[in-house]
Structure 1
Amino acid sequence: MRNEPTTRARRAGAAVLRWCRTRPVTLAVTALVIVLSLTGFIASPSGWGWQVLDEGVPEIFIQRHWWGTVTSLLAVPDLASLLALVPVLLVVVGAAEKTMGSVRTLIAYVVGGVAASFAGLGVGLLEEQFLDFLPLNAPAVDTLSPLAALICTAMAASSFAGALWRRRTRLLATLTAVTLFLYAGGANDLFSLLAVPIGLGLGYVLGGRHSGFRLVRSSHHEKRVLLAALTFVTSVGPVIATFSTTGAGLLSIYGFLSDDPVTLVDGQTCAFGSPAAPCPDTYDSFGELQPASGFIALLPILVAVIAAWGILNGRRAALWLAVVFNGVVFAGMLYVFSVIQPETVAAIAQLRDAESQEYVWQTLSSSLIGALVPLSVAIVLVVFRRNVRAASTPAALRTFGLTVGVAAAANLLLAFAGGLVASDGYNPNLDVGDVLVGLPLRLLPPTLLPSDILTFVPSSGWAQAFWYLPSLLFWLATTVATARLVLDPGAVSGASDRARARLMLERGGGDTLSFMTTWEGNAYWFSPDLDAAIAYRVRGPVAVTLGGAFGPDAQRPEVVAGFVEFCGENGWTAVFYSVEDGDDSPYRQLGWQRMPVAEEALLDPATWNTSGKKRQDIRTATNRAAREGVTATWTSWHDLTIAEHAQIREISEAWVADKSLPEMEFTLGGVDELADPEVRLMLAVDEAGRIQAVTSWLPLFAPGGVHGYTLDFMRRRADSMNGIMEFVIGAAADHMKAAGLDRMSLSGSPLASRPDDGERAPITRVLDRFGELLEPAYGFRSLLNFKRKFQPEFVTLWAVYPESSVLPSLGIALARCYLPHLTLAQAARMAGTLREPREPVAAK
């Protein structure tokens, strides 16, 4: 134990040295940036000694400083920028160098950066000549552009990355460049925007893969990542516009919204453009009444950021909050466009920069264009809302509404009372009518109020308190309410029932599918008299169970009868799906019909071994893994590192991207289900620490604890060794045998039957035919044949239903359970790809 810290330090040191040895370009670029930037800082007391390193139209085309196109990629103008840039360089360039090699990385950084710079200078000249009527970006006078080179490098490296990081890198780089260009609008931001297509094309030239981006081929989790990123970036855009020093972007008008319209001019409060409290045309001094008032406007943005986090976690309420937020911003920007007059904008611009007066009409056009951004975000969120499915409980929604409503009423009352008490502290003095007319505006952050609509402004200290406090307190309360609604696990609809069902499951009883009942999307029926429950999903008139009952009393016939009665009371037809139906089955007493829907493969870990000719493939795969240095690791999601999480998501996204249809659900789990602390993972990891394949195992509970596991999630890399899945599953069987477990299920293969099942009913033959049609897209039968290699015992899983007239509704209900969001376009695409051979589903 005494040597453990020393061992860890040595390992960390070895890892750092290994990282450095494999990333010489990253270290060289970072060192040059540090040296050149520090040299520039020291060369001049004003901090502008790096002028000879930068680029711009005068330097490149007049002074002939051609080296500036390269040196500008390796320096920043101030220490704060350097401290922020160095870690980004190490991460981005380091990741690119690992992904596509040192030579390609150097080419992408230098050649791509220079190309983006020249393109930016050229576009800038065209803008000055032909597009000066649009507020696009600041002119390229003095420019240092390492960000453009970074974006170009990242985009080039994305062509060499897997599906997950290819998509994420391109999205993040594009959103970053577009956001900076729109909201900040510096010359650097134009270069960064142009670096996106240049880097993408350069990646193809350097040998990267050509692949299109199709959102429909993402997993549900990845779609939430993209929606959350879009919401977050567009929410913080106004902050970027506020702190930008250029004010030249197309959406830089958002920066004006952080300026307090109430101004202190020659000691008197007024508002430029206000009809009732105007400021004088001539003055000696001016300033904002409360410069810190702009921070109140950050609270609505914080609400949007919390909503983005909720979208990432699948909270439907967060999505609708983001839709409302963007809808309000859209309406507000339209109002700004229609209400603010050019002379008012000119007066406001005069406070910030006298030269801005000539761009007044550009500000108006920016208002109109700026309204399209939140509108577009709202439309995207609504279109893809089905991927954000965790509904909130009615109680949580009521609490949120009550909190916001009470906060609004209380602060409106505060503003009303303050207007009356301090009526003589306003300019002009107020009466009751004036207070009532202006009351709704008190809930808005003061900096968002157009000065045109201000009929009075605060002068005294008390008047200022009643002017600023109501909006501050209201948005603080709204932020807290939003955080509770979006972040509280107990606010999710069904969370309490799911927790109750899980405790019942852990007490024992149930089948090999029972742990799937803990997944989101299920409803629960609890027996009023017995310790048992059933999970189900209602689709149309049919209530489809997920497996059979679970809990200590799961096998009691009264449980099945009680659920049937419950469904009848609600006007549903009960169907027990994927259940075993032996002679002692509780379903026999119903006297219902049944049909086979899957074949489950069971193994006895106690008798497991790889001897015999029929298990030759497992032995071959195990021996090959040993030769190639691939090892099996039994672990859980929470024991893995962030980098290992990313690898698993990358493997899964690559698999999903290859499919013409979305991921199936219901009894087929995805990456989201791996995070449960009771789920175990068996990984295949090579000598470099790269995950080659992953499987997940769901626990089977008995009264004494876990007595076995069911296979759920199966994914492997496309370039992994042949037989990798045989090796991983064989290793899992070895582990369960060593742990003394008594049951191992390779799960069921839906719509796949053994050929020796004997005479089959007409409806079964129809399902067989349907399975044959789906085989090219999902490969269930290929998966069944794969499981035969392990020589399991096959057990038929049945659908138990009351009568044949239910079958059409049942077919539709099952399709909606497995593919709840299948669109007509996707269905048509599926029909066109059914004849194309595809790799097996690798999920069940």
Structure 2
Amino acid sequence: MTRQRPGTAPPRASPRWTSLRRAARRRAARQPVALAYALALLVMALATGPLHGPARHVRLLLGTGYESVVDEGHWWTPLTSVFFVDNGAELLLALAGAVVLVGYAERLMGSGRTIIVFAGSAVLGAAGGILLQDAGVAGGELWSRGVSELFALDPFTPIFGTIMAASCYAGPLWRRRIRVLTISAALVLLLYSGQPSDVYRLIAALVGLGIGALFRPSRIDFTWRRSSHHETRTLLAAVAGVLAVGPLITIFSGARFGLLAPLGLLLTQDVPAATDVVDRCLLGNITRQCVHELTLERIGGAGPVLVSLLPLLTLLVAAFGLARGRRFAAWLAIVVNAGMAVLGAWYYGLLPVSGQPYVWHWHSAHYWEIALVLVVSVLVPLATAIVLAANLRRFPVRGRPGRRRRFALTVVLSFLGLASLYVGAGWLLRDSFRPRVALIDLVTDVPERFIPVGFLRLERLSFLPTDWVSATLYQWVGPVFWIIVIVGAILSLRSGTAGVSRDDQARLREILTRGGGGSLAFMATWEGNSIWFNRAGDVAIAYRVVNGVAITTTEPIGRAEHGAQAISDFATMCDDHGWIPVFYSLHGSWQATFSRMGWQSMGIGEETVLRPRSWDPTGRKWQDIRSSVNRADRAGVRAVWTDHKALGVLQSLQITEISELWVQEKELPELGFTLGGLDELRDPAVRLMLAVDADERVHAVTSWMPSYRDGIVVGWTLDFMRRRPDSMNGVMEFLIARTMQMMSEQPEIEFLSLSAAPLAQTGAQTGAGAGQGRSGSVAARMMDFLGRSLEPVYGFRSLLAFKRKFQPEFHPLFLNYPDPVALPAIGIALARAYLPTLSMREALAFARGLR
């Protein structure tokens, strides 16, 4: 043991260790209830068995349930049961839930409210579930009687209730996420596991939501508020994914009593020999025990298990595509879920053309429960398909038509080929089935080879294979088909969007880096655009076809000397397809080209451009900008230049929340087309400028698109611009000023564009920009009317006034079109391009508001 010399200072702890200790103390001070609960869970688990859970006598004394409370009188168990776990895996999940979810709730509600909600949801959740069980046992209900002897040890009951109460204190983004995902998770656990604790969790979640609303009545808001396209897709993808993985809960659940637990029999009992089942059941009367054993035999082996799991994997692939806005993924999820619902209804006898008379004995007291199982098994996938179909417009990214056709053709041909193989080879091996099969038996059995076993639990079996050759044929045609579907779906989702292959995307990026296309050219890379290339391959035009109108995203990109010919060739291509060509957001340098072609033009906005090389924010005109910068410096807010990949998880979530708060303030949906959203921030070439305070709280965000010349970035264009409602005044001015200051120090940067405010102009446009003749006058009045009408919702003119603070150059932007007669169609197409998700109800409501 070493001794410290007298008069010497003690060794100092490392700065990193000191920082960690301070962070731990701050967390302990902010969420003592959550950390205390996590510590209690850990101590109890170590004391009673962290791997396999408490011993039986502990479960009987402290676990809750019908028998514990009603029969044994252990009234304290609804509260004591939440401090124990069943196994080590559950301990890890519970510790994470206590620290993260309960900790988050405590930071929002405070420690006192958290304790009340925690205890209240634990007690009321279990008490409500036990009362339901008591009523079920008294009425002879099968589920209640089957689980009456189970003792629940479940820390997630109060966790669910606490986080739901906290949703009343959260912002709009997390309020919706918490409620949707928590209720979805609770329902999936109930349907696929079906233990008493699953019922307690669902009731606790609803109780917590009610308590939270009582604590904060001014924030009661159970309506579905508008969300951004990105957030809606994220939520729908999350719900679809949760429903898809639900059957896996059956595999890992300790007991399987849920309405949708088709694999439970396979995982809990041995599969009897096929020949024994055939002899005892198929050749005699079908009893309840025979149905049970036939189901076991049906799901015996890896093949039938895969037939049940692979469609779920298909839905997971679809959920990934839903998050990316892919229309193909939405249709894939709709078709698979609707197919499962229809097939389930067919084989369960819900459709009159099927008829399963031995299922529907309504006079029996027990058959209504079987009927409930069947109905729920059909309604869950059907409801999922309906919700996705109702939100189909939220998935605007369309795949290439050739890829979709190839996928559909591959699926159909694979099904027909495998079905023919099964029937043909089965006929050759007919003596290997028992009883011996006829051709009609094989044909009628084909659908069952491709259907998840869960839908066939009560379907009569006609025959079974008796050797490995016939068993391979019998079990594996279905898994091979679903593997083909999954591989085809992945390839379709990875392919380019409509009209844009991976090679086209690479060519477009190459042309962009060489230069040309103006300050708005980078918008051509956004999802949803189609790309046209001239014959030489050195000019590209990005466009979207809406209602038969081909609207370009910006001006031609590439070599300027070939631009005029490219415009003519593109117009010819549109004419060949029966489209009306419209060139949108073009600068004044292109107007002579359209004048020679005899086209009409009108101004649709003005781009505001800054010159960093001459940046000098002095003088009276810059007073507001200087004040905003000084105010940010005093508040400790700094500007951070970064990209999306470099963002931390918390920063990324804050940016999403800021965007959601902005969208919910609008009476109409989020705009698209030439206005980027969250999805466009993720491009590696795009840069972000964030306003971040000392607590790492993001107050505002702007995104900047690059403009190239000879592979070098020579300018940046502002796109995404959002701020928190409670952020300091002038935070946007601060971000733009800091961006200008940084760019002024980079000699290769020639301009900084603040982009254009659609439907807003200073009135300085003349000549061609003012329109030509009567048609131009009508068009100008139409654009002016739209600008004034949409101003209260989107504030285009206010945005233009904001940009004027920076003393920019004004560069007019024009819309060019060949025929004035097409103006109404062009106007409608532009409206649909900017508002692709606008419903008829929203359009009528907005129109009424204009009166």
| Shared fold, TM over 0.5 | yes
Equivalences, count? 818
CA distance in 2, matches of 1:403, 1:756: 58
Query: Cα–Cα, structure 1 residues 614 and 139, in superposed 2: closer, same or farther, change >3 Å?
Result: farther
For 2:578, what is the secondary structure of its paired residue?
A: coil
CA distance in 2, matches of 1:380, 1:464: 39
Query: Cα–Cα, structure 1 residues 755 and 19, in superposed 2: closer, same or farther, change >3 Å?
Result: same
Match of 1:176 among 174, 185, 190: 185
Per the TM alignment, residue 34 of structure 1 is displaced from its structure 2 partner at its CA by 2.0
In the other structure, the counterpart of 1:219 is: 228
CA distance in 2, matches of 1:610, 1:718: 27
Per the TM alignment, residue 768 of structure 1 is displaced from its structure 2 partner at its CA by 2.2
Q: What TM-score do the two structures reach when normalised by structure 1?
A: 0.88
In the other structure, the counterpart of 1:540 is: 547
1:752 paired with 2:787, answer no
Q: How big is each residue's C-alpha offset from its partner over 1:4-38, in whole Å with a ceiling of 9 and x where there is no partner?
A: xx877776666555444433222100111122234
Per the TM alignment, residue 623 of structure 1 is displaced from its structure 2 partner at its CA by 0.9
Query: Cα–Cα, structure 1 residues 173 and 136, in superposed 2: closer, same or farther, change >3 Å?
Result: farther
In the other structure, the counterpart of 1:322 is: 333
CA distance in 2, matches of 1:271, 1:163: 62
In the other structure, the counterpart of 2:278 is: 270
Aligned partners of 2:688 and 2:703 also within 8 Å: yes
In the other structure, the counterpart of 1:804 is: 820
Query: Cα–Cα, structure 1 residues 484 and 542, in superposed 2: closer, same or farther, change >3 Å?
Result: closer
Per the TM alignment, residue 179 of structure 1 is displaced from its structure 2 partner at its CA by 1.6
**Map 1:431-470 → 2, pairs under 5 A:** 431-432=438-439, 434-444=441-451, 448-450=455-457, 452-470=459-477
For 1:594, what is the secondary structure of its paired residue?
A: strand
Identity %: 37
Per the TM alignment, residue 330 of structure 1 is displaced from its structure 2 partner at its CA by 1.0
**Map 1:369-384 → 2, pairs under 5 A:** 369-384=376-391
For 2:639, what is the secondary structure of its paired residue?
A: strand
For 1:587, what is the secondary structure of its paired residue?
A: helix
Query: Cα–Cα, structure 1 residues 660 and 674, in superposed 2: closer, same or farther, change >3 Å?
Result: same
Aligned residue identity for 1:781:
R
CA distance in 2, matches of 1:452, 1:379: 27
Q: How big is each residue's C-alpha offset from its partner over 1:72-111, in whole Å with a ceiling of 9 and x where there is no partner?
A: 2221233342233222222212222333333333332223
In the other structure, the counterpart of 1:696 is: 703
In the other structure, the counterpart of 2:616 is: 609
In the other structure, the counterpart of 1:494 is: 500
For 1:719, what is the secondary structure of its paired residue?
A: coil
Aligned partners of 2:401 and 2:498 also within 8 Å: no
CA distance in 1, matches of 2:370, 2:702: 56
Aligned residue identity for 1:822:
L
Aligned partners of 1:386 and 1:821 also within 8 Å: yes
CA distance in 2, matches of 1:413, 1:569: 43
For 1:750, what is the secondary structure of its paired residue?
A: coil
Aligned partners of 1:37 and 1:50 also within 8 Å: no
Q: How big is each residue's C-alpha offset from its partner over 1:157-185, in whole Å with a ceiling of 9 and x where there is no partner?
A: 11222222111111110101122223322
For 1:715, what is the secondary structure of its paired residue?
A: strand
Query: Cα–Cα, structure 1 residues 636 and 38, in superposed 2: closer, same or farther, change >3 Å?
Result: same
Query: Cα–Cα, structure 1 residues 601 and 455, in superposed 2: closer, same or farther, change >3 Å?
Result: same
CA distance in 2, matches of 1:432, 1:262: 31
Query: Cα–Cα, structure 1 residues 138 and 106, in superposed 2: closer, same or farther, change >3 Å?
Result: same
For 1:236, what is the secondary structure of its paired residue?
A: helix
Per the TM alignment, residue 506 of structure 1 is displaced from its structure 2 partner at its CA by 1.7
**Map 1:247-266 → 2, pairs under 5 A:** 247-249=256-258, 251-252=259-260, 254-255=262-263, 264=272
Aligned residue identity for 2:641:
W
In the other structure, the counterpart of 1:234 is: 243
In the other structure, the counterpart of 1:795 is: 811
1:88 paired with 2:97, answer yes
Per the TM alignment, residue 481 of structure 1 is displaced from its structure 2 partner at its CA by 2.6
1:559 paired with 2:575, answer no
Stretches of structure 2 lacking an aligned partner (at least 5 in a row): 1-13, 771-776
**Map 1:653-692 → 2, pairs under 5 A:** 653-692=660-699
Aligned partners of 1:555 and 1:585 also within 8 Å: no
Per the TM alignment, residue 641 of structure 1 is displaced from its structure 2 partner at its CA by 1.7
Aligned partners of 1:160 and 1:208 also within 8 Å: no
In the other structure, the counterpart of 1:3 is: none
CA distance in 2, matches of 1:439, 1:530: 51
For 2:593, what is the secondary structure of its paired residue?
A: coil
**Map 1:640-659 → 2, pairs under 5 A:** 640-659=647-666
For 1:270, what is the secondary structure of its paired residue?
A: helix
Match of 1:743 among 751, 761, 781: 751
In the other structure, the counterpart of 1:163 is: 172
CA distance in 2, matches of 1:462, 1:683: 64
Aligned residue identity for 1:295:
V
Per the TM alignment, residue 153 of structure 1 is displaced from its structure 2 partner at its CA by 1.1
CA distance in 1, matches of 2:795, 2:53: 69
In the other structure, the counterpart of 1:22 is: 30
CA distance in 2, matches of 1:583, 1:450: 69
Query: Cα–Cα, structure 1 residues 578 and 216, in superposed 2: closer, same or farther, change >3 Å?
Result: farther
In the other structure, the counterpart of 1:831 is: 847
Aligned partners of 2:250 and 2:256 also within 8 Å: yes
265-274 vs 668-677, greater mean Cα deviation: 265-274
**Map 1:757-776 → 2, pairs under 5 A:** 761=777, 763-776=779-792
Per the TM alignment, residue 749 of structure 1 is displaced from its structure 2 partner at its CA by 1.1
Q: How big is each residue's C-alpha offset from its partner over 1:710-752, in whole Å with a ceiling of 9 and x where there is no partner?
A: 1111101111111111111111111111222111111111111
Query: Cα–Cα, structure 1 residues 341 and 702, in superposed 2: closer, same or farther, change >3 Å?
Result: same
CA distance in 2, matches of 1:262, 1:409: 34
Aligned partners of 2:59 and 2:151 also within 8 Å: no
Per the TM alignment, residue 440 of structure 1 is displaced from its structure 2 partner at its CA by 4.5
Query: Cα–Cα, structure 1 residues 13 and 679, in superposed 2: closer, same or farther, change >3 Å?
Result: farther
In the other structure, the counterpart of 2:194 is: 185
Query: Cα–Cα, structure 1 residues 627 and 336, in superposed 2: closer, same or farther, change >3 Å?
Result: same
Stretches of structure 1 lacking an aligned partner (at least 5 in a row): 1-5, 347-356, 836-844
Aligned residue identity for 2:500:
G
Aligned partners of 1:545 and 1:576 also within 8 Å: yes
Aligned residue identity for 2:481:
F
Match of 1:479 among 482, 486, 501: 486
In the other structure, the counterpart of 2:832 is: 816
For 2:720, what is the secondary structure of its paired residue?
A: strand
In the other structure, the counterpart of 1:354 is: none
**Map 1:330-369 → 2, pairs under 5 A:** 330-338=341-349, 359-369=366-376
Q: How big is each residue's C-alpha offset from its partner over 1:335-368, in whole Å with a ceiling of 9 and x where there is no partner?
A: 232168686899xxxxxxxxxx984541133202
1:114 paired with 2:123, answer yes
CA distance in 1, matches of 2:295, 2:190: 29
1:517 paired with 2:524, answer yes
Q: How big is each residue's C-alpha offset from its partner over 1:26-73, in whole Å with a ceiling of 9 and x where there is no partner?
A: 210011112223434499984442432222345445655443232122
Q: What TM-score do the two structures reach when normalised by structure 2?
A: 0.88
Q: How big is each residue's C-alpha offset from its partner over 1:754-812, in whole Å with a ceiling of 9 and x where there is no partner?
A: 25668974542442233122111111111111111111111221222335333322222
Aligned partners of 2:169 and 2:219 also within 8 Å: no
CA distance in 2, matches of 1:623, 1:257: 69
Per the TM alignment, residue 553 of structure 1 is displaced from its structure 2 partner at its CA by 2.8
CA distance in 2, matches of 1:7, 1:554: 61
CA distance in 1, matches of 2:270, 2:336: 25
**Map 1:282-321 → 2, pairs under 5 A:** 288-289=296-297, 290=300, 292=302, 295-296=305-306, 297-321=308-332
Aligned partners of 1:262 and 1:271 also within 8 Å: no
Per the TM alignment, residue 573 of structure 1 is displaced from its structure 2 partner at its CA by 3.1
In the other structure, the counterpart of 1:778 is: 794
Match of 1:67 among 76, 81, 86: 76
Q: How big is each residue's C-alpha offset from its partner over 1:659-681, in whole Å with a ceiling of 9 and x where there is no partner?
A: 11111111111000000111110
196-205 vs 150-159, greater mean Cα deviation: 196-205
Per the TM alignment, residue 460 of structure 1 is displaced from its structure 2 partner at its CA by 2.5
State the superposition RMSD in angstroms: 3.5
